Amino acid sequence: MKIIEDYKCFIDGKGIIKAISTIFLNPCFHSVVLYRLSHFFYKIKLVIIAKIIWYINRLLFHVDIDYRANLAGGLVLVHGLGVVIGSGVKSKGKLKVYQGVTIGGNKSKFRVIDGKKQWMPVLEDGVVLYTDCKLFGPIIIAPNTKINAASIITEDIINQTYEAEDDYQ
Protein backbone atom coordinates (compact mmCIF):
# COMPACT_ATOMS: atom_id res chain seq x y z
CA MET A 1 0.00 0.00 0.00
CA LYS A 2 1.13 3.54 -0.73
CA ILE A 3 0.57 4.73 2.84
CA ILE A 4 3.04 2.11 4.09
CA GLU A 5 5.64 3.41 1.60
CA ASP A 6 4.92 6.97 2.76
CA TYR A 7 5.34 5.93 6.40
CA LYS A 8 8.66 4.16 5.72
CA CYS A 9 9.98 7.29 4.00
CA PHE A 10 8.85 9.47 6.91
CA ILE A 11 10.63 7.37 9.54
CA ASP A 12 13.64 6.69 7.27
CA GLY A 13 14.92 3.84 9.49
CA LYS A 14 15.45 6.11 12.51
CA GLY A 15 14.15 3.74 15.18
CA ILE A 16 11.11 3.02 17.28
CA ILE A 17 10.77 6.48 18.85
CA LYS A 18 10.64 8.12 15.42
CA ALA A 19 8.21 5.45 14.21
CA ILE A 20 5.78 6.02 17.07
CA SER A 21 6.08 9.81 17.11
CA THR A 22 5.40 9.96 13.37
CA ILE A 23 2.09 8.19 13.80
CA PHE A 24 0.90 10.33 16.69
CA LEU A 25 2.74 13.67 16.44
CA ASN A 26 3.70 14.44 12.84
CA PRO A 27 1.16 16.77 11.16
CA CYS A 28 2.87 16.37 7.78
CA PHE A 29 2.34 12.61 7.93
CA HIS A 30 -1.27 13.18 9.00
CA SER A 31 -1.75 15.42 5.97
CA VAL A 32 -0.42 12.69 3.66
CA VAL A 33 -2.79 10.18 5.29
CA LEU A 34 -5.73 12.52 4.66
CA TYR A 35 -4.65 12.88 1.01
CA ARG A 36 -4.48 9.07 0.67
CA LEU A 37 -7.97 8.75 2.20
CA SER A 38 -9.45 11.41 -0.08
CA HIS A 39 -7.81 9.80 -3.13
CA PHE A 40 -9.18 6.40 -2.10
CA PHE A 41 -12.74 7.75 -1.90
CA TYR A 42 -12.25 9.47 -5.27
CA LYS A 43 -11.13 6.17 -6.84
CA ILE A 44 -14.25 4.37 -5.57
CA LYS A 45 -16.39 7.22 -6.93
CA LEU A 46 -17.44 8.72 -3.58
CA VAL A 47 -16.35 12.17 -4.69
CA ILE A 48 -18.28 14.11 -2.06
CA ILE A 49 -16.45 12.25 0.73
CA ALA A 50 -13.15 12.81 -1.10
CA LYS A 51 -13.87 16.56 -1.25
CA ILE A 52 -14.80 16.71 2.43
CA ILE A 53 -11.53 15.02 3.45
CA TRP A 54 -9.58 17.30 1.08
CA TYR A 55 -11.26 20.29 2.72
CA ILE A 56 -10.43 19.05 6.22
CA ASN A 57 -6.80 18.67 5.13
CA ARG A 58 -6.77 22.28 3.94
CA LEU A 59 -8.35 23.56 7.15
CA LEU A 60 -6.21 21.60 9.60
CA PHE A 61 -2.82 21.57 7.91
CA HIS A 62 -2.93 24.29 5.21
CA VAL A 63 -1.99 21.67 2.63
CA ASP A 64 -3.89 21.52 -0.65
CA ILE A 65 -3.23 18.17 -2.32
CA ASP A 66 -6.05 17.59 -4.78
CA TYR A 67 -7.77 14.26 -4.28
CA ARG A 68 -7.44 13.57 -8.04
CA ALA A 69 -3.62 13.86 -8.04
CA ASN A 70 -1.93 10.54 -8.74
CA LEU A 71 0.98 10.37 -6.29
CA ALA A 72 3.02 7.21 -5.90
CA GLY A 73 3.99 5.82 -2.51
CA GLY A 74 6.89 7.50 -0.77
CA LEU A 75 5.37 10.98 -0.51
CA VAL A 76 6.99 13.02 2.27
CA LEU A 77 6.01 16.54 3.24
CA VAL A 78 8.68 18.45 5.14
CA HIS A 79 7.12 21.51 6.82
CA GLY A 80 4.06 21.09 4.61
CA LEU A 81 2.43 24.49 5.17
CA GLY A 82 1.30 26.11 1.95
CA VAL A 83 1.92 23.11 -0.32
CA VAL A 84 -0.37 23.02 -3.38
CA ILE A 85 -0.48 19.96 -5.65
CA GLY A 86 -2.95 20.12 -8.53
CA SER A 87 -5.43 17.57 -9.78
CA GLY A 88 -3.44 16.36 -12.79
CA VAL A 89 -0.07 15.96 -11.09
CA LYS A 90 1.51 12.53 -11.32
CA SER A 91 4.48 11.13 -9.43
CA LYS A 92 6.12 7.85 -10.34
CA GLY A 93 8.06 7.22 -7.14
CA LYS A 94 9.39 8.81 -3.97
CA LEU A 95 8.73 12.53 -3.71
CA LYS A 96 9.92 14.93 -1.00
CA VAL A 97 8.14 18.30 -0.85
CA TYR A 98 9.13 21.27 1.33
CA GLN A 99 7.04 24.25 2.47
CA GLY A 100 5.29 26.49 -0.03
CA VAL A 101 5.77 24.30 -3.11
CA THR A 102 3.21 24.67 -5.90
CA ILE A 103 2.78 22.05 -8.61
CA GLY A 104 0.13 22.73 -11.23
CA GLY A 105 -0.83 23.84 -14.70
CA ASN A 106 -3.87 24.53 -16.81
CA LYS A 107 -5.86 22.56 -19.32
CA SER A 108 -5.18 24.96 -22.20
CA LYS A 109 -1.58 23.69 -22.48
CA PHE A 110 -1.11 19.92 -22.62
CA ARG A 111 0.85 17.06 -24.17
CA VAL A 112 0.44 13.31 -24.42
CA ILE A 113 2.56 11.36 -21.91
CA ASP A 114 2.27 7.57 -21.63
CA GLY A 115 -0.77 7.69 -23.93
CA LYS A 116 -2.68 10.13 -21.73
CA LYS A 117 -3.37 13.85 -22.01
CA GLN A 118 -1.23 15.55 -19.37
CA TRP A 119 -1.53 19.24 -18.45
CA MET A 120 0.39 19.18 -15.18
CA PRO A 121 3.87 17.97 -14.18
CA VAL A 122 4.98 14.34 -14.12
CA LEU A 123 7.61 13.70 -11.44
CA GLU A 124 9.85 10.67 -11.70
CA ASP A 125 11.23 8.72 -8.71
CA GLY A 126 13.39 10.46 -6.11
CA VAL A 127 12.47 14.09 -6.87
CA VAL A 128 13.07 16.67 -4.11
CA LEU A 129 11.26 20.03 -4.29
CA TYR A 130 12.75 22.62 -1.97
CA THR A 131 10.96 25.56 -0.33
CA ASP A 132 8.75 27.79 -2.49
CA CYS A 133 9.65 26.23 -5.83
CA LYS A 134 6.92 26.27 -8.48
CA LEU A 135 6.37 23.74 -11.27
CA PHE A 136 3.85 24.61 -13.97
CA GLY A 137 2.57 22.95 -17.11
CA PRO A 138 2.90 19.55 -18.78
CA ILE A 139 6.55 19.03 -17.89
CA ILE A 140 8.60 15.98 -16.93
CA ILE A 141 11.07 16.08 -14.05
CA ALA A 142 13.80 13.43 -14.34
CA PRO A 143 14.54 10.85 -11.62
CA ASN A 144 16.49 12.06 -8.57
CA THR A 145 16.22 15.71 -9.57
CA LYS A 146 16.55 18.33 -6.85
CA ILE A 147 14.79 21.64 -7.55
CA ASN A 148 16.32 24.58 -5.67
CA ALA A 149 14.28 26.83 -3.41
CA ALA A 150 12.28 29.62 -5.07
CA SER A 151 12.79 28.19 -8.59
CA ILE A 152 10.08 28.50 -11.22
CA ILE A 153 10.10 25.56 -13.63
CA THR A 154 8.06 25.57 -16.86
CA GLU A 155 10.18 23.22 -19.01
CA ASP A 156 11.32 19.61 -18.71
CA ILE A 157 14.27 18.90 -16.42
CA ILE A 158 16.35 16.04 -17.76
CA ASN A 159 19.51 16.41 -15.65
CA GLN A 160 19.88 15.46 -11.99
CA THR A 161 19.98 18.91 -10.38
CA TYR A 162 18.39 22.16 -11.44
CA GLU A 163 20.55 25.10 -10.41
CA ALA A 164 18.94 28.52 -10.52
CA GLU A 165 21.03 31.23 -12.10
CA ASP A 166 22.87 33.42 -9.63
CA ASP A 167 21.45 36.95 -9.83
CA TYR A 168 23.93 38.36 -7.31
CA GLN A 169 26.98 38.64 -9.58
pTM over 0.85: yes
Domains of the chain, with CATH numbers? Answer: 2-161 (2.160.10.10)
Reported as a single tens digit per residue, the pLDDT across 146-156 is 999 999 999 99
Give CA–CA dist 2/11, Å, rounded. Answer: 15
The predicted pLDDT at position 89 comes to 97
- Residue pLDDT tens, the chain, 169 long: 899 999 999 998 888 999 999 999 999 999 999 999 999 999 999 999 999 999 999 999 999 999 999 999 999 999 999 999 999 999 999 999 999 999 999 778 889 877 888 999 999 999 999 999 999 999 999 999 999 999 999 999 986 655 555 444 4
Looking from the CA of 11 toward its CB, the CA atoms found within 13 Å total 18
Type and span of the H or E element at 128: strand 127-129
* C-alpha distances out from residue 115 to 29, 111, 118, Å: 32, 10, 9
DSSP secondary structure letters along 143-164 = TT-EEPTT-EE-S-B-SSEE--
The predicted pLDDT at position 91 comes to 97
Reported as a single tens digit per residue, the pLDDT across 18-39 is 999 999 999 999 999 999 999 9
Q: What is the pairing mode between strands 111-113 and 116-118?
A: antiparallel
DSSP bridge partners of 157: 141
